[in-house]
Amino acid sequence: MKHETSQTLINRLDALLEKERRALLAGDLDMIGKLLTRKEMLFDALAELEPANQSDLLSLQTKVDRNQALLDGALQGIRKVANRMSTFRKIRRSLETYDAEGRKKAIPGELDHKVEKRA
């Protein structure tokens, strides 16, 4: 990458950001992880050169910001799912309710792995 021009690096980074966007929209987390190393390498190489055209860099910044917003949304969704699953696991272990005096009471749950057969 040392002999590439800034425009070549910008073009490669632009293509990679589009690929990252498609992966984010598709929910392909494996691909996003694979692209991260390449993206970092391209950013590092571009930082070492002086780009000829600032408008190209502004275009890249717009795409980076767009992808970051998509990634933030994906992470927020993953956190919500994890919290929801945690709540379901908690409910399976016990049920919280209130007694006649308004005190909180936990009713332990039992996991029954038996299958009942009826004729």
Residue-wise pLDDT tens digits, 3-56? 578 888 889 999 999 999 999 999 898 999 899 999 999 988 888 876 666 777
Q: How confident is the model at residue 95 (pLDDT cuts 50, 70, 90)?
A: confident
Position 15 scores a pLDDT of 95
CA separation for the pair 27, 65 (Å, rounded): 18
CB atoms within 10 A of CB 1: 13
Position 70 scores a pLDDT of 94
Mean pLDDT of 49-72: 84
Give the residue extent of every domain in the chain: 6-108
